[in-house]
């Protein structure tokens, strides 16, 4: 099919137009969405109405565009880039194509607003997933898009009973447990903390299982004051694949009846598990 005939088909599920290379940021969102959906083609130098405007293509234009896409996607988005004559003199229409794909470690492709440092672990909380829905590129929670992997750790995080009811506003002491399920792969560099950090304590261990054990307890000594907002029990750890994880259990605080005001803390129903770090990007 000729380029002009392709453009006449208009934008859709697998096609989007950008007037100029100044829109390469939004264009990269779209390419990530294409890869996470059904693949697609992004055309630079074409207006939303299908008018060919073209862009200036210099000696390094294509290479610079390819490097921009590489620096702002995790893992690197595999694209092909070509350019064609337009109806606007020497200007060209640049066509960037990406196939539908599921990368093995992340499960989805992600966009970074800042260039990614290949020498460092990547903060997953600074990345954004996109999906293509009709003609719309929309943001998605990448953990909901990502399929489960056999190496994903299965962690249980909770409290021992009801905690200890000693505080007037918040329990001054309570204990918890972290347990690795039998079918789970090991976890490493394990740390337990409170968010916000309203007390002392917590716990650290190099790995679980440790000396065969898969369950460990820990204790927090907390300030006798009510926190502003919810309190979370947070565990961070790494897995066999080099992913950094965070598990969060919201704590529920309530007053007990009786003469003296007492409070207790329970493990709430709200539990969040997410990836927070990826390995350094492969060249």
| 162 and 271 both lie in a single domain | yes
Whether residue 160 sits in one domain with residue 85: no
| CATH at 232 | 2.60.40
In a domain? residue 283: no
Judgement on whether residues 128 and 159 belong to the same structural domain of the protein:
no
The domain spanning residue 19 has which CATH number?
3.30.950.30
On whether both 225 and 98 belong to a single domain, the answer is no
Is the pLDDT at 266 greater than 80? The verdict is no
Structural domain harbouring 109:
3-145
Give one DSSP letter per residue of 80-147, joined into a string: EEEEEE-SSTT-EEEEEEE-----TTTSS-EEESS---TTS-EEGGGEEEEEEETTEEEEE-HHHHSP
Q: Pick from 120, 145, 170: which residue ends a domain?
A: 145
Q: Please check whether residues 109 and 54 belong to one and the same domain.
A: yes
Stated pTM of the model: 0.88
* DSSP classification of residue 35: H
In a domain, 150, yes or no: no
Does 233 have pLDDT greater than 80? yes
Rounded CA-CA distance 268/249 in Å is 7
Residue 264 has pLDDT above 80, yes or no: no
Does residue 137 register a pLDDT over 90?
yes
- On whether both 199 and 135 belong to a single domain, the answer is no
Give pLDDT, residue 222. 75
Q: Which of 114, 145, 176 is the last residue of a domain?
A: 145
Q: How far apart are CA 175 and CA 202, in angstroms?
A: 9
Q: How many domains does the chain have?
A: 2
Per-residue pLDDT tens digits for 99-130: 999 998 999 999 999 999 999 999 999 999 99
59: exposed, middle or buried (Cβ count in 10 Å: 0-12, 13-18, 19+)? exposed
């Amino acid at each position: 099919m000729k380029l002009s005939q392709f453009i006449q088909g208009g934008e859709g599920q697998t096609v989007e137009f950008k007037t100029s290379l100044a829109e390469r940021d939004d264009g990269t969102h779209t390419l990530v969405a294409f890869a996470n959906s059904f693949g697609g083609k992004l055309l630079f130098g074409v207006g939303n109405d299908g008018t060919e405007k073209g862009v200036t293509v210099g000696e390094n234009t294509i290479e610079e565009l390819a490097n921009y896409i590489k620096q702002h996607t995790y893992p690197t988005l595999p694209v092909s880039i070509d350019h064609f004559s337009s109806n606007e003199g020497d200007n060209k229409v640049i066509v960037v194509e990406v196939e539908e794909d599921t990368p093995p470690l992340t499960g989805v492709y992600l966009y970074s607003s800042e260039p990614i440092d290949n020498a460092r672990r990547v903060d997953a909380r600074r990345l954004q997933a996109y999906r293509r829905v009709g003609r719309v590129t929309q943001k998605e929670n990448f953990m909901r898009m990502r399929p489960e992997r056999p190496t994903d750790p299965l962690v249980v995080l909770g409290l021992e009973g009801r905690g200890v009811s000693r505080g007037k506003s918040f329990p001054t002491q309570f204990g918890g447990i972290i347990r690795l399920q039998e079918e789970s792969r090991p976890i490493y560099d394990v740390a337990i903390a409170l968010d916000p950090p309203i007390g002392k304590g917590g716990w650290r261990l190099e790995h679980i299982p440790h000396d065969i054990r898969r369950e460990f307890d820990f204790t927090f000594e907390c300030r006798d004051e009510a926190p502003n907002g919810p309190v979370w029990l947070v565990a961070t750890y790494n897995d066999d694949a080099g992913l950094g994880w965070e598990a969060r259990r919201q704590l529920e605080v309530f007053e007990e009846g009786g003469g003296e005001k007492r409070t207790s803390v329970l493990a709430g129903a709200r539990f969040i598990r997410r990836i927070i770090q990826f390995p350094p990007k492969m060249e």
